[in-house]
Amino acid sequence: MTPAFSSWADFFRMGGYAFYVWLSVFFTLLAFTALIVHTRVQRTLLLKQIRQREARERRVSAARQKKTAAKAGGSL
């Protein structure tokens, strides 16, 4: 089996198509990086929304319990 390129310089020149090959590699890596960043930002926002919703539900539940306790204490 023989290597496709005889030297590193030949590898980086890509048989005369280096501009197109490396440009496509760059844009592919750029797209993957953007996808990773977007996913992490969305995950952070989603977890923040979940925490806010749970906190609201706890506040509403506590207010209902307090209201129920006040009604029960007032009727005695």
pTM of the shown model: 0.68
The fraction of the chain above a pLDDT of 90, given in percent, is 79
Distance CA 51, CA 12 (A): 49
Maximum mean pLDDT: which of 5-9, 14-18, 52-56: 52-56
- The token pair at 54 is 């749970």
pLDDT category at 71 given cuts 50, 70, 90 is: confident
Termini Cα distance of the chain: 94
- The token pair at 6 is 């005889």
CA 70 to chain centre: 45
Ranges of each domain in the chain:
8-74
For residues 33-58, average pLDDT: 98
Residue 61, pLDDT above cutoff 80: yes
